[in-house]
Amino acid sequence: MKHFILLFLFISAEIIAQNTIPNGKELTYNEYLGYVKKFHPLVKSANLNISNAQANLMMARGGFDPKIEIDFDKKQFKGSEYYSILNSSFKIPTWYGIEVKAGFDNSEGIYLNPQNTQPNQGLTSLGITVPLGQGMFINQRMSDLRKAKIQIQLNESERKLQVIVVLYDASVAYFNWKRNFSEVQLYEAYLKNAEIRMKGVSSLILNGDKPAIDSIEAGIIVRNRKLNLEDSQLKLAKSKLELANFLWLENNIPFELQEDIIPEKELESTLKESLKINEFLQEIPTLENHPKINALQSKIGILEVERKLKANSLLPKIDIGYHYLSEPSSFNETNFNDYKVGLNFSFPLFLRKERGSLQVAKFKIQDTQFELDIEKVALKNKIKAQQTELNSLEKQKKLIAKLVIDYATMLTSEERLFSFGESSIFLINSRENNLIASQLTAIHLENRYFISSADLFKVMANPD
């Protein structure tokens, strides 16, 4: 009967160690990522980049806005009106540097410069200015607008890269929380085991069936389990606080984790779907839409626009303007003999500044192209490395799972021998330590597998 009771105590302890299930409300990984994507301040900050790029695009388009200009100058001295000059115009910039201008000028005064003499009703004009060299195919306004459009694509790619870093860090914090939580549950269960054994050993010592020294051995085990539990609880508390850094609500209100909230139990079965990495586990995906690649291609596009603008500066600056002139009352009576024409020409003789700027622009494009080529190879190798690591961790998890079963069998066998007086507390403790070590290894391998999956998620950079 004594052997039966002691055997029952040890088997019960083993059942407690393997089947302790905490009660609490699960915070699933997918739900957690949803909070981070929606409310985390750094994610919101990354989204502001798109709005900023759109504002810059609006500014660039402002270079083509029509413009009203009025210049009025009047001088009155000792009762004499020296002059009164009004120059007003309405300008419409167009895409290819052509500018359409309508104007009205009026002037009077006794000391008026003869070239400013106007009819009594004033003088209207309608004309056009055309660049025949610099600015005909590309100018600063066109360049700014093209770069602003490309900048939106660049900012979208950079937004994804910024968001993916936040989601990766948040994922690592969740996985570490789950690992520490599992370790706490493990040590709590084995502390109960040790306490049950100590009671059983104490009963045997009172009955004279075991030496008193066994109580010290059993007490050492209990204290070691308490020490392990205290350390794991400290790690859990710290990881929980780290996790809370990524949890926010609307209006930038931090979200506080309640004590009864626990991590997702079956995370492994939902992880790949939450990270959307199923299709990337075996084959190397195409990188055409990768944010890093798109960002570098956008940078090359912006540099190419700058190169074209620098190349355009090698051309001479030739602006030709024609303006039809008429009095307001006879504007409809077309007389093309009344006009004003203008020609502006300038051209540097050596073009050293322009040629140097063009060379610098070309070097920047080459440098970014080298970076793009390197990044394509690096991304493929990173993806392949993560696939290899995940496959290896899958195999290691299977091996450690078998080791856990084997160590559990050895411990059960040792406890059975102890119940018949053929073993000792020391041997049981040794067997149990091996089992605990294997279970901790299993927990750490699971954590490595989760983080490695997040690494693949980070490399693919697809947070949406």
Is 288 or 208 the better-scoring residue by pLDDT? 288
Residue 249, in any domain of the structure: yes
Residue 163, in any domain of the structure: yes
Q: Which of 325, 350, 375 is the last residue of a domain?
A: 350
Q: Is the pLDDT of residue 18 over 60?
A: no
Q: Residue 361 corresponds to which tokens in the numbers above?
A: 């622009």
Residues 152 and 130 in one domain: no
- CB-based contacts of 214-217 (< 8 A; 24+ apart in sequence): 214/424, 214/425, 217/424, 217/425, 217/426, 217/429
Q: Is the pLDDT of residue 21 over 70?
A: no
DSSP string, 234-258: HHHHHHHHHHHTT-EEGGGEEPPPP
Q: Grade residue 16 by pLDDT with cuts at 50, 70 and 90.
A: very low
Choice among 32-41, 251-260, 349-358 with the minimum mean pLDDT: 251-260
Judged by DSSP in three states, 429 sits in helix
Give the pLDDT score at 15.
42
Give the pLDDT score at 330.
66
Give the pLDDT score at 80.
83
Residue 310, in any domain of the structure: no
Residue pLDDT, tens place only, 72-99: 998 888 878 888 889 999 999 888 888 9
Q: Is the pLDDT of residue 19 over 50?
A: no
DSSP string, 270-299: HHHHHHT-GGGSSS----TT-HHHHHHHHH
Give the pLDDT score at 449.
95
Give the pLDDT score at 81.
83
Is 38 or 78 the better-scoring residue by pLDDT? 38
Residue 313 contacts residue 352 (beta carbons within 8 Å) = no
Residue 274, in any domain of the structure: yes
Is 18 or 219 the better-scoring residue by pLDDT? 219
Residues 221 and 271 in one domain: yes
Q: Is the pLDDT of residue 378 over 90?
A: yes
Q: What percent of the chain has pLDDT over 70?
A: 91
Whole-prediction pTM value? 0.84
Is 234 or 254 the better-scoring residue by pLDDT? 234
Residues 97 and 202 in one domain: no
What separation in angstroms does the CA of 143 have from each of 223, 303, 347, 353? Answer: 74, 10, 21, 19
- In angstroms, the CA 92 to CA 60 distance is 15
Q: Domain tally for the chain?
A: 2
Instruction: Quote the crossing angle between the two packed helices 352-419 and 291-312, to the nearest 10°.
Output: 170
Residue 312, in any domain of the structure: no
Residues 253 and 397 in one domain: yes
Residue 130, in any domain of the structure: yes
Residue 453 contacts residue 390 (beta carbons within 8 Å) = yes
- Calculate ∠ Cα 42-48-53, nearest 5°: 140
Choice among 48-57, 81-90, 229-238, 363-372 with the minimum mean pLDDT: 48-57
Q: Identify the domain containing residue 110 by its residue range.
A: 66-137+317-350
Q: Is the pLDDT of residue 17 over 70?
A: no
Give the pLDDT score at 12.
43
Residue pLDDT, tens place only, 313-362: 899 999 999 988 888 876 566 667 888 899 999 988 888 988 999 999 99
Residue pLDDT, tens place only, 289-308: 899 999 999 999 999 999 99
Give the pLDDT score at 149.
92
**Average pLDDT of the segment spanning 111-122:** 81
DSSP string, 136-157: SS--HHHHHHHHHHHHHHHHHH
Choice among 73-82, 103-112, 212-221 with the minimum mean pLDDT: 212-221
Q: Which of 350, 371, 405 is the last residue of a domain?
A: 350
**Average pLDDT of the segment spanning 196-218:** 74
Residues 130 and 244 in one domain: no
Single-letter code of the amino acid located at 379 = L
Q: Is the pLDDT of residue 4 over 50?
A: no
End-to-end distance of the chain based on CA atoms, in angstroms?
Answer: 65
Residue 242, in any domain of the structure: yes
Choice among 203-207, 324-328, 367-371 with the minimum mean pLDDT: 203-207
Give the pLDDT score at 334.
67
Using the structure block, give the residue that is written with the tokens 């790949």. Answer: 272
Residues 148 and 202 in one domain: yes
Q: Is the pLDDT of residue 10 over 80?
A: no
Length of the chain counted residue by residue: 464
Give the pLDDT score at 332.
65
DSSP string, 292-310: HHHHHHHHHHHHHHHHHHH
According to DSSP H, which parts of 260-419 are helical?
Answer: 267-275, 291-312, 352-419
Residues 128 and 224 in one domain: no
Residues 104 and 229 in one domain: no
Q: Is the pLDDT of residue 204 over 90?
A: no
Give the pLDDT score at 22.
45
Residues 232 and 181 in one domain: yes
**Average pLDDT of the segment spanning 103-121:** 84
**Average pLDDT of the segment spanning 392-415:** 92
Q: Residue 35 corresponds to which tokens in the numbers above?
A: 């909070």
In this structure, what CATH number is given to the domain that contains residue 241?
A: 1.20.1600.10
**Average pLDDT of the segment spanning 28-35:** 91
Residues 245 and 380 in one domain: yes
Give the pLDDT score at 328.
81
Is 118 or 227 the better-scoring residue by pLDDT? 227
Residue pLDDT, tens place only, 59-71: 888 888 899 999 9
Which of 416, 401, 408, 399 minimizes the C-alpha distance to 435? 408
- The single-letter DSSP state of residue 338 is S
Residues 332 and 370 in one domain: no
Residues 105 and 253 in one domain: no
Choice among 245-254, 397-406, 419-428 with the minimum mean pLDDT: 419-428
Is 57 or 161 the better-scoring residue by pLDDT? 161
